[in-house]
Amino acid sequence: MKKIPAEKNRSSWMDILITCTILSLIVGGSYLIFLSKKSSSASTKNTGHAATSIPTTVDTIDSKYPGIKINTEISNDPDTPVAVQYPQSTDETFNTEIKKYIKQAKDHYSAEITAYKEIGEDITGELNISFKTFSHHSGMYSFILETYSYVGGANGETEIQSFYFNPKTGESITIEDIFENDVNRLSDISEAIREQLYNDPKIKDYLFSDEVSKHTEPIWNNFQKFALTDDSLIFYFNKYDIAAGAVGIPTASISLDKLDKLLATEFKMKEEKAKDNTKETAATEKNNGDKDELDTNEKDMTSENKRVALTFDDGPDPKVTTQILETLKKYDAKATFFMLGSRVEYYPDIAKNVQAAGHELGNHTWTHPNLVKASAKKISNEINNTSTIIEDVTGQKATSFRPPYGAFNDTVSEQSDLPIILWDVDTLDWKHRNPNQLLAYVKQSTKDGSIILMHDIHQSTADGLDAVLAYLKDEGYEFVTVSQLNE
């Protein structure tokens, strides 16, 4: 801040300067207040239920894992791309614990990026947090979070973290619980894990034996990262901790039968196992009821209208996608949904609704990574796993592919059988979260043949869509899918 000089006879330009300084401080201050108000109202809005005290709502009805929802936060800022996904429940202790971990990871990442920028290095980093969900018949879920951060150099860092929650009972679980808190069982656990690692053909040749010994020493602390399923306990290690990078994330999966003698009575599940196997979904029924819609679309193709393709990325979402489907129906508009495999897994019914309404299904990878930095194997896994779940759940194949952040290179093109679709109208809806701005961006740059980018995980996008469709319809546009546009 500027110091006010003490002399009495200061010149008049000094008075002006001081006045300006004070004025700009006042204006700057109010702007900051405005900004903080704006961001807090935006984050409330984001939950869709402003009235509840905690900004987390759980769409339990539509999730494949009752009591759990998947949260997806994506920042498309080209300098610091971030894609973070994590589970949330109605339990605040569980939610707070996970959010604390996520916040730490995000803060750490932005601090490192800022540090590089301060020394004048222009680097593009990446933060990607994804998770796997495992369920046990007791209602206990294990969530294995994988945090990948890259801030320059040859390799990024990968960290595994695990969380546990049973929405039926509100309880968590520890490895000590599973083994009756008995230290005498530790050496047997350790031995079972070592045996599994040294017999796994995918891992055994890459193990660092000293590190294996250290990380499987018979102490509870070594076994904190695990997933409990009906059949097995899967132990996780950090990348590079016990094996070469080629292995990826090393795991040791040990059948519960084998551990039976060591397990606490509560977790001896042989007798329960059969009961739960019936839960596997058979959602592969093909739906042939869409013939009429296809015919209608073909008819539309012959008209002379200007055409525009609406695209929605990063979904599906129970509330936002559903509202968008209603708005599209009102205007008899067809669109393309570039879905994340991780969210299709959580919300199969919503993905199915998108298909049933006659929209084009697009693939947007499973975890939303920057594919330009990924290996060919990782790229093909991301694309293929997502195509598989989309077809399994909806009975229809994904017909186009949009790489996250629009980032691709020759390796990505080689790994994708689907046409790569980008966009020319960016609504920046992920950034402003303002329903009115959606229309402003569309008005500014839409022309015949445009592909408009939006995201169906933001409530503001669903809220602003009606005005966008009304405007485009008025301008004489016809709404088509990206494949129809490229025919």
Catalytic residues: 313, 455
Residue nearer to Zn ion on the CB measure, 250 or 316: 316
CB 172 within 8 A of CB 141: no
Write down the least CB distance from residue 74 to Zn ion, Å. Answer: 5
The 10 Å Cβ neighbour count of residue 117 is: 13
Q: Is the dihedral of CA 442, 443, 444, 445 positive or negative?
A: positive
User: Tokens at residue 179, please?
Assistant: 């083994």
Residue nearer to Zn ion on the CB measure, 314 or 360: 314
Residue nearer to Zn ion on the CB measure, 232 or 365: 365
Measured in whole angstroms, the distance separating CA 20 from the mean position of its chain's CA atoms is 46
Terminal-to-terminal C-alpha distance of the chain: 62
Which residues of the shown chain bind Zn ion in the complex (CB under 5 A)? 313-314, 404
* Peptide bond connecting 316 to the previous residue in cis, omega within 30 degrees of 0: yes
Residue nearer to Zn ion on the CB measure, 311 or 450: 311
Write down the least CB distance from residue 442 to Zn ion, Å. Answer: 18
Interatomic CA distance for residues 169 and 241, integer angstroms: 34
Write down the least CB distance from residue 268 to Zn ion, Å. Answer: 44
Write down the least CB distance from residue 395 to Zn ion, Å. Answer: 24
Interatomic CA distance for residues 102 and 392, integer angstroms: 31
CB burial of 12-27 (b: ≥16 within 10 Å; e: otherwise) equals eeeeeeeeeeeeeeee
Residue nearer to Zn ion on the CB measure, 85 or 415: 85
- Judged by DSSP in three states, 136 sits in coil
Residue nearer to Zn ion on the CB measure, 73 or 293: 73
Q: Which residue has the tokens 């080209």?
A: 78
Write down the least CB distance from residue 355 to Zn ion, Å. Answer: 20
Residue nearer to Zn ion on the CB measure, 349 or 426: 426
Nearest-CA neighbor of 351 among 339, 367, 334? Answer: 339
Residue nearer to Zn ion on the CB measure, 422 or 467: 422
Interatomic CA distance for residues 341 and 368, integer angstroms: 9
CB 329 within 8 A of CB 48: no
Residues paired with 129 in a beta bridge: 84, 147
Write down the least CB distance from residue 76 to Zn ion, Å. Answer: 7
Write down the least CB distance from residue 385 to Zn ion, Å. Answer: 16
CB burial of 404-430 (b: ≥16 within 10 Å; e: otherwise) equals bbebbeeebeebbebeebebebbbbbb
Write down the least CB distance from residue 230 to Zn ion, Å. Answer: 34
Pairing of strands 226-228, 157-165: unpaired
Residues paired with 85 in a beta bridge: 72
Residue nearer to Zn ion on the CB measure, 138 or 415: 415
Select the residue whose beta carbon is closest to Zn ion and give its number.
313
CB 452 within 8 A of CB 308: yes
Write down the least CB distance from residue 445 to Zn ion, Å. Answer: 19
Full DSSP string of 396-422: S---EE--GGG---HHHHHH-SSPB--
Sheet holding 232-236, edge to edge: 226-228, 232-236, 251-255
Rg (CA), the chain: 26
